[in-house]
Amino acid sequence: MPTASRVTLTGTQPLTKHASALMQQANVLIEIDRAVKDRQVMLDLQSVPFWEAVERLAQAADHRLAVSGPKISLFREPYRKVPVDLEGPFRTVVKKSHSKLDVETGQRTCEVQIQIVWEPKFKAFYVETPAKSMSAANDTGKSLRMIDDGSSKMPVAGQSAEITLRLADIPRSMQQIAQLQGLVKIVGTTQLLQFTFEAGKTGETTTQRQSGVAATFSRFQKRSRVWTAQVQFEYPKGGPEFESFQSFLLDNECWLQRPDGAKFPSTGFEVGGERGGGILVSYHFQENHKTGFALDDARGWKLVVRTPGPIIEVPLRFTLEQVPLP
């Protein structure tokens, strides 16, 4: 499990100062435009996990907390306790619950929408829900029947993911689900690596290694008005497998840097698939005199690549209690 950021907030201070300190320590944006900024808030938090600090700040300030992906907001409405589970850099919370009635069959079902959000320092690519990994119980401890409890795997864009649980045969008199438990597997990385190569050293193969990841710069050539740089990446064996490296490399950046420091990002890339245990990527740079990118001699130029670090699979278990029903 990746570790959570640690935050210290102490003393009685205006809400805006506590929020500012929290943002600086965790490098996260917290919006307080619709909060009572000068409200005095007393806290005594010594090196607590980030999400716990956010919850404690909202509770102490008596403000409603809203989290939507990377956006964290405090509103002047009274604090509302919701079913939530905090684990490492992850926050799992119930967002919505609603009932449905199939008029033809008379079957009544309930849907519970769960949001999983993580700190920006973790980058997720996929969230997988294994089959039979969710369970629910009523106030007496009796198990509730789950519907469509098969496995699923979805790509992630941003800092959150949502899953919907469906339960059958929920009586109208039932006011809450006493406990929801689940397991999801989140595939991602906690690192962003940067490799810098001398673009002018054509014909030479250069390999650099960081955190177990190898990047090999093998070719930089021009055809018509387009320059193409080829870099092969090799990741540690034994990590999670990807169905498509294309989505993984959406978080891969590449640019050329002129001797004076000016940067020119690639205008496109192609993934050549696996070759000899590595992933070959071709980056294209279209010459454009309007942007100032025109290259006759690559000496002194640098090729810079940023790519995700080693890929890990995080098993995230959560328990949500007293989930209200409509």
Q: What percent of the chain has pLDDT over 70?
A: 94
pLDDT recorded at residue 69: 75
In a domain, 1, yes or no: no
The answer on 302 and 205 residing in a single domain is yes
The answer on 303 and 240 residing in a single domain is yes
The answer on 318 and 176 residing in a single domain is yes
Taking 90 as the threshold, does the pLDDT of residue 276 lie above it? Answer: no
End-of-domain residue from the set 81, 100, 127: 81
pLDDT recorded at residue 244: 53
pLDDT recorded at residue 299: 87
The answer on 231 and 185 residing in a single domain is no
pLDDT recorded at residue 242: 58
pTM value is: 0.85
State mean pLDDT over 221-228.
92
Give me the residues paired with residue 165 across strands: 112
State mean pLDDT over 275-296.
85
The answer on 151 and 99 residing in a single domain is yes
pLDDT recorded at residue 245: 55
pLDDT recorded at residue 202: 65
The answer on 216 and 116 residing in a single domain is no
Span 176-194, pLDDT tens digits: 999 999 999 999 999 999 9
The answer on 206 and 184 residing in a single domain is no
In a domain, 243, yes or no: yes
The answer on 35 and 15 residing in a single domain is yes
At a CB cut-off of 8 Å and minimum separation 6, what does 186 contact? 90, 116, 118, 124, 126, 127, 128, 161, 313, 314, 316
The answer on 141 and 276 residing in a single domain is no
Give me the residues paired with residue 45 across strands: 9
Which CATH number characterizes residue 117's domain?
2.60.40
User: Of the ranges 32-36, 50-54, 306-310, which one carries the lowest mean pLDDT score?
Assistant: 306-310
Q: What percent of the chain has pLDDT over 90?
A: 67
In a domain, 23, yes or no: yes
In a domain, 245, yes or no: yes
pLDDT recorded at residue 277: 65
Q: What is the mean pLDDT of the chain?
A: 90
113-to-89, 103, 168 alpha-carbon distances in Å:
20, 23, 15
Which CATH number characterizes residue 28's domain?
3.55.50.30
End-of-domain residue from the set 81, 98, 125: 81
The answer on 184 and 320 residing in a single domain is yes
In a domain, 248, yes or no: yes
Taking 80 as the threshold, does the pLDDT of residue 273 lie above it? Answer: no
How many domains is the chain partitioned into structurally? 3
In a domain, 154, yes or no: yes
| Residue 126 structural domain | 90-189+313-324
End-of-domain residue from the set 45, 63, 81: 81
SS3 of the chain: the string is CCCCCEEEEEEEEEHHHHHHHHHHHHCCCEECCCCCCCCEEEEEEEEEEHHHHHHHHHHHHCCEEEEECCEEEEECCCCCCCCEEEECCEEEEEEEEEEEECCCCCCEEEEEEEEEEECCCCEEEEEEECCCCEEEECCCCCECEEECCCCEEEECCCCEEEEEEEEECCCCCCCEEEEEEEEEEEEEECCEEEEEEECCCCCCCEEEEECCEEEEEEEEEEECCEEEEEEEEECCCCCCCCCCHHHHHHHCEEEEECCCCCEEECCEEEEEEEECCEEEEEEEEECECCCCECCCCCCCCEEEEEEECCCEEEEEEEEEEEEECC
pLDDT recorded at residue 295: 86
